[in-house]
Structure 1
Amino acid sequence: MNLKQLARMLDLSQTTVSRALNGYPEVSEETRRRVSDAARQHGYRPNPSARRLATGKAGMIGYVMPTGASVDIDPHFVEFLSGLGDYVRAHELDLVLSPAEADDEETTYRRIVANKLVDALYISAPRHADSRIALVQDLGIPYIVHGRSEGLDFDYPFLDIDNEAAFHDATRLMVQLGHKRVALLNGEEAQTFAICRERGVRRALEASGLVLPPAMLRSVAMTEENGYRATRSLLMQSEAPTAIVCSSLIMALGVVRAARDLGRSIPRDLSLIAHDDVFPWLKPENFSVPLTTTRSSIRAAGQRIAERLAARIAGQEAGALGEVWPVDLIVRSSIAGAPA
């Protein structure tokens, strides 16, 4: 079915149908839903070239994906991408992944914007004073950042979770249970989320007259193997931690394995709280000892960012709107009072 046939069937003009499918704000929500339902029912998909000529829009959201030998596939990113894909698939949009060398992403950003390949971009894993955000701001294309970057001299649109509050609350609970040697197993130190999580841990410890010494901090890429190695190094110290706050459920797999190999029982010898991004294939309640977690759905974040990008493409959202989600603390069996 082509656009003309779809419009005739709905007794609408081709212009109205085209505008409904492309999210123009002057089309009523009832008409937009009616057109979308009919297009889905009859298998209609707008021709990308025709849509670009008619509307000036590509109907695509873009992401510059760093590649190279130093880049690992991150399960957190895959889960986020699934959420984003859920939304764009249901709203007649497409997602374009543009690979780029990890140390030369700027060239790819400039190319896809200059060639008008996408209508909007999202940026993930922001770093301090992230130059990608400054570049995209200057290029003038709609965008949203997943996370936040500190050190920029302008405001920008973002969606983030309250990392500092989440790890403050997790650490405070450990302190309330009597733990004085609390370690942080964190993500890479250049990432803003890791900076905020460390800040939350330090703030909770300082409120009780405690500190986070260098020997109790590990900042690594969030893999199971890194979690294992970092935990072994922590537990083999003469003043080993009695509690660990961990930045990833995937790293927590390594924590559990290291504790078992060293004969440490969770939670009798070691209490553990991990951040849980709600993976459908890795559930904290199914660990050998159900894990206490700070919980937020990264898949839901992907859906929300896609929704906001679609609104920005349609002119329904503008400006430097920041959105911060609270994080739940789910208490399970992996924590206990500090060992005597």
Structure 2
Amino acid sequence: MNLKQLAESLGLSQTTVSRALNGYPEVREETRLRVEAAARAAQYFPNARARRLATGRAMTVGHVMPLTEAQEMVNPIFADFIAGAGEVYAKEGFDLLLSMVPVDGIEAAYRQMAANASVDGVIVQAPTIDDPRIPLLQDLGLPFLVHGRTANHHSYSWLDVANIRAFRRATELLLDLGHRKIALINGQENLDFARRRRLGFEQALDARGCAANPDWMRSDIMTEQYGYRSAVEMLDGDDPPTAFLVSSIIPAIGIRRAAGERGLRTGRDISIITHDDALSYIDNEGITAPEGPAFTATRSSIRAAGQRCAQILLSLINDPDQPPIQELWETDLTLGRSTGPVPT
């Protein structure tokens, strides 16, 4: 269906239909809603260039990712987040601008986006404890949302997982099972989420009169090999842990591999609890036996987080004067086959 046919089916002029679809303010709300509904039903999409001219917007959202050795583009967590956000952008007629820049080029990338008006807003991912991107974006006046948050998180919009409570609950479960030798395989602790997860872990131990053992704590980029190497070092030591608390299912798979090579059965000889982002590529539910998921996990969907972050950011773009929108998501603690009582 073309514009002429859509207009004829509605009994309206082509000009009115075009203006309704492209966001011109003089079109009555009732008419705009009727035209949009008919366009969706007919799978008709307005010209993107016309919509940009009508609204004065770029109709684009920016994601700036630093180029590091972490290989973000093949990271399933990043990929699922972008997939979720992209669904919302496409539905609302926005494009996604993904800019990969050197770490020392992040500030220049944001300044160029603001100066060129090439994006209407940006999403900030993997915030550090005191992230310099936040005051920069505030100074630039560019609408933004943070996926995560910083230590001082009161003045901007963010969506985060309740990391402290999640890891406190997970540690308490291991303590209830009799484990006292618990290792923490964490993300990079300059990142805010990892700091909070460590805090939850330490709070749970302290409440039971236990102390965290520095020899059983690691912090690094969360790859399968990182989990494997950490587990090998600990399990081959003189005093190995009986349980692992892990910040991602990706290193948890490496820990399980190291345990298996040593003849240790997860859930019986060794226990593992992981944070699980319900990834489409590595799905805890998809590596199950009839008796349940492979891993006991604190679950939170990264794809759903991407969708909600996109929705919030578009709301901020449409109404930049509204108060900050802040959401804290709880996790589900689901039991799998990777945990059991401490072995005697």
Distance across 2 between alignment mates of 1:119 and 1:33: 23
Provide the residue aligned with 2:111 in structure 1.
110
- Shift of the alpha carbon at 1:169? 0.2
Range with greater deviation from structure 2 (133-142 or 68-77): 68-77
Whole-Å Cα distance in 2 between the matches of residues 225 and 260 of structure 1?
A: 15
The amino acid of 1:209's aligned partner reads G
Find the counterpart in structure 2 of residue 309 from structure 1.
313
The 5 A counterparts of 1:133-144 are 133-144=134-145
Q: Does residue 324 of the first structure (1) align with residue 336 of the second (2)?
A: no
Q: Secondary structure at the match of 1:103?
A: helix
Partner deviation per Cα, 1:261-308 (whole Å, 9 max, x = no partner): 122221221111111111123232425772111000000011111111
Q: What is the rounded CA distance, in whole Å, between the counterparts of 2:28 and 2:262 in structure 1? A: 64
Counterpart of 1:233, as a letter, is: E
Residue matched to 1:267: 267
State the alpha-carbon separation in 1 of the partners of residues 125 and 98 from structure 2: 13
* Most deviating of 41-50 and 4-13: 4-13
CA RMSD of aligned residues (A): 2.6
Give the corresponding residue for 2:182: 182
Q: What runs of 5+ residues in structure 1 fail to find an aligned partner?
A: none
Q: Which residue of 1 aligns with 2:301?
A: 297
The letter of the residue matching 2:329 is W
Whether the 8 Å contact between 2:39 and 2:45 is mirrored in structure 1 is: yes
Identity %: 42
Q: Once the 2 structures are TM-superposed, how far is the Cα of residue 38 of structure 1 from its aligned partner?
A: 3.1
How far apart are the structure 1 equivalents of 2:236 and 2:288? 23
* Alignment deviations for residues 73-112 of structure 1 (CA, whole Å, 9 cap, x no partner): 3210000011111111222221111221122201000001
Which consecutive residues of structure 2, in runs of 5 or more, have no partner in the other structure? none
Please, what TM-score do these two structures have when normalized by structure 1? 0.90
Cα deviation, residue 37, structure 1: 3.7
User: Matches of 2:80 and 2:146 in 1, distance apart?
Assistant: 17
Determine if contact 1:185/1:245 at 8 Å carries over to the other structure. Answer: yes
Provide the C-alpha distance between the structure 2 equivalents of 1:23 and 1:263, rounded to a whole number of angstroms: 68
Instruction: Give distance in 2, aligned partners of 1:124 and 1:19.
Output: 34
Q: Which amino acid aligns with 1:167?
A: F
| Aligned mates of 1:2, 1:135 — CA distance in 2 | 44
Q: Equivalents in 2 of 1:77, 1:140: separation in Å?
A: 26
Provide the residue aligned with 2:258 in structure 1.
Answer: 258
Letter paired with 2:333? L
Aligned position for 1:232: 232
Q: 8 Å contact 1:20–1:31 — kept in the other structure?
A: no
Identify the residue that residue 337 of structure 1 maps to in structure 2. 341
Q: How many residues align?
A: 338
Contact 1:218/1:230 (8 A) holds in 2:
yes
The amino acid of 2:130's aligned partner reads A
Contact 2:88 2:311 (8 Å CA) reproduced: yes
- Is 267-276 or 35-44 further displaced after alignment? 35-44
1:151 Cα shift? Answer: 4.2
Secondary structure of 1:118's partner? coil
Give TM-score scaled by structure 2 length.
0.89
Aligned to 1:243: 243
Instruction: Give the counterpart letter for 1:97 in structure 2.
Output: L
Moved more, 40-49 or 118-127: 40-49
Deviation at 1:32, TM superposition (A): 5.3
Change (3 A) 1:339 1:23: farther
Matches within 5 A, 1:127-138: 127-138=128-139
Cα gap change, 1:308/1:296 in structure 2, threshold over 3 Å: closer, same or farther?
Answer: same
Q: What is the match of residue 97 of structure 1?
A: 98
Q: Report what 2:279 is aligned to.
A: 279
Partner of 2:209: 209
Equivalent position of 1:55 in the other structure: 55
Deviation at 1:70, TM superposition (A): 5.6
* C-alpha distance in structure 1 between counterparts of 2:255 and 2:305, whole Å: 26
User: SS of the residue aligned with 1:49?
Assistant: helix
In 1: Cα distance, 2:43 partner to 2:163 partner = 42
Distance change in 2, residues 1:281/1:69 (3 Å): closer
Inter-partner Cα distance in structure 2 for 1:33 and 1:228 = 55
Q: C-alpha displacement at 1:63, in angstroms?
A: 0.8
Which amino acid is 2:282 matched to? L
Q: How far apart, CA to CA, are the structure 2 residues paired with 1:15 and 1:182?
A: 66
